Amino acid sequence: MPGIWLKNARLVGPSSIVRGDVLVRDGVIAAVARDGGGDWPADRVVDVADRYLSPGFIDIHTHGAGGFDFMDGSLEAVYGACLAHLRHGTTCLLPTTSASTRESLLEMAELFNRVEPRRTGYPEIHGLHMEGPYFASEQRGAQDARHLRNPDPEEYNQALRIGKRIVRWSFAVELEGGEEFLRTLREKGVIPSLAHSDATCQQVRQAYADGVHSLTHFYSGMSGLRRVNSYRIAGVIEAGYLLDGMYVEVIADGKHLPADLLELIYKVKGADRICLVTDSMRAAGMPPGSYKLGNIETGMDTVVEDSVAKLPDRLAFAGSVATADRLVRTMRDLAGAPLPAAVAMMSLNPARLVGLDGRKGSIAVGKDADLVVFDEGVNVHLVMARGEIVPPG
């Protein structure tokens, strides 16, 4: 059965770029021809014109885009934000919550039971990423302090019963009840991640041994080296570097982390343990101005300027306004990562972290036809989600 033939491309692999063609059929990659090119019957032929053809981007931490926040609590907001990200190359994502009331937490868990995971013309919605509300107040960042609390077994067990689509949960393991919560997540098959945490390096080492293998938005909302009774104590940041197998999320918008830190993270962690994430709020893909962080009615006020969201007093960032294409471009241009490595950080690595690498994250026969065409400036020209071509943003 004929399909779509993408020809004259520079195929971006995890470690190299080669010229070649790709045939897509029935939503999956049916054939890949390198160097010499393909010669297949097809319903449609797309000339990539020597631009880059990469696997679709996978964002495992995003709060919204296009004027929508997932905490708005409606299907319209979910699909609207997802569509805005798709136009910038994100073909799979994990919508992410923020610290909220118990009622809102449970409502979000229930809402995602009604979300279509593979809706035609939209990125795949792999599942829900719960960020909070179990965070250390000292590391809250832009999380609403009114809603921070210790893990409550009655609350999180109810959420896990209700929410059939919860796949990842970020929390501070050092809080009272944190170890029990971690055990529950592992028992339920939910991926744990450390976030907004004031833990010591030793506490993170123990959490790693117990199954925490990722740090949410590295450097942001986490402890570093400090003095306790005159002695230096390493924190979460140092643990992220010391534990070779620990994945680190990186908000590579060029604002949350300066070029020096992006370069340091890449130098120490290498290309295989970095997951680029937008951590975007509703203003991603929108003009500068005033926006709500979180629910459109009850969320926190923010101002978007200088290509980043800030709290009104300008003392802290309030989420990024980045899209995935910007992250790849920034990691290449500011951190010095080769383009294949930067793309892998936005595709194959997050796919591995959340268990999707069997069908996503690289250009290989049998994998989902999630593909992005972009130019030298990482400007998106074409996006394909499971074999369906959609217009870029």
List Cβ neighbours of 114 (8 Å cut-off, separation of 6 or more): 75
Show which residues are catalytic.
279
Rounded Cα distance, 337 and 309, in Å: 25
Tokens (6 digits) for 3:
């399909």
List Cβ neighbours of 369 (8 Å cut-off, separation of 6 or more): 4, 24, 27, 28, 29, 384, 386, 387
Find where tokens 């798709």 sit: 86
Rounded Cα distance, 254 and 78, in Å: 26
Tokens (6 digits) for 119:
């809706």
Rounded Cα distance, 254 and 289, in Å: 19
Tokens (6 digits) for 153:
């077994």
Long-range contacts of 74-81 (CB under 8 A, 24+ apart): 74/111, 75/111, 75/114, 75/115, 78/111, 78/112, 78/115, 78/125, 79/119, 79/122, 81/282
User: Could you tell me which of 210, 226, 216, 225 has the C-alpha nearest to residue 196?
Assistant: 216
Tokens (6 digits) for 53:
């053809």
